Chains A and B, each alone.
Chain A
Amino acid sequence: MLEAKLDAASQLKKIVEAIRDMLGECNIECNETGLALQSLDKSHIVLVSLLLGSDGFSEYRCDRGVTLGLNINSLATVLRCANNDDILTLRSEDRANELILTFEDSKADRISEFNLRLMDIDQEYLAIPETEYAATVVMSAAVLQRTLRDLSALSEAVTIEIDKEGIRFSAEGDLGKGSTHFKPCVDMENAENSINITLSEPVSLSFNLQYFSNITKASSLSSTVTLQMTAGMPAQIEYKLPSGHVRYYFAPKIED
């Protein structure tokens, strides 16, 4: 059985809000190391991989593997009934067909309980190959989100070029074209505004900006984002969590 407690419901609420628009029905695999979710988005262009390590919970117990088959939007709907600073407990018996969520306020004089019906979902699992990425960029999550949002005014696609000079985001559409270039830099005051580039060889890939804007909804989860790219392969975009991560594998657009 699974019993997992978070000191603040907001920790789970904001993660589910960040991924709910991309996903539908998915399995959350729970075991002694924590909760893991891997699911293709509806377009099959992005694979979302979420890991919530057991040490991120104030109490965690999962003696045998439990699979929570649910619709992520139903989970988001139920989580909206929790206040951000409520103590949140997830409970599910082995082979149960429901997930019990309880929300307690810190003075413990109010407790809500919701039972979310679980489903049997046979979802396609993709094997994520170990990839040596030619380029790794660590930058501010908010700056990436803002840069891509600006370029989405010009086009539905962005080209990202990384070389030793820096990282350039560019887009071209009917009304014209635009680009933003960032040099590697270290910001001593705000480390998150640093641009750190590790490069084994230059790389340039193009991506759909609509899906990218869904991905950067995770900017609320982490102050920095790690972008990894290599020619002809999906990009890996990672937002680190206090004990885990939200990772996206994003298929590029290819010159036909």
Chain B
Amino acid sequence: ENLQISLGEFFDSS
């Protein structure tokens, strides 16, 4: 089963 990850894992908040 594929796991949905959130954008926060890729883009750090500036």
Contacts and interface: CB of A to CB of B under 8 A. Distances in A.
Interface of A: 40, 43-47, 124-129, 157, 206, 208, 233-234, 249, 251-256
A contact face: mostly helix, strand, loop, or mixed: loop
A128 B9 CA distance: 12
Given A44-B7, A44-B8, A46-B7, A253 B2 contact: yes
Interface in B1-14: 1-14
Contact of B2 (A40, A125, A233, A256): A256
A233 B5 contact: no
Contacts of A40: 7
Pairs A-B, 3 closest by C-beta atoms: A253-B2, A126-B11, A127-B14
Given A125-B13, A126-B12, A127-B14, A157 B7 contact: no
Contacts of A256: 1-3
A126 B6 CA distance: 12
A128 B8 contact: no
A127 B13 contact: yes
Contact of B13 (A43, A46, A124, A251): A124
Contacts of B2: 157, 206, 253-256
Contacts of B4: 45, 208, 251, 253
A85 B3 CA distance: 45
28 contacts: A40-B7, A43-B6, A44-B7, A45-B7, A47-B11, A124-B13, A126-B7, A126-B8, A127-B11, A127-B12, A128-B11, A129-B11, A206-B2, A208-B4, A233-B10, A234-B10, A251-B4, A251-B6, A251-B7, A252-B5, A253-B2, A253-B3, A253-B4, A253-B5, A254-B2, A254-B3, A255-B3, A256-B1
A251 B5 contact: yes
B7 to A, nearest CB: 5
A209 B13 CA distance: 26
A126 B7 CA distance: 9
B1 A126 contact: no
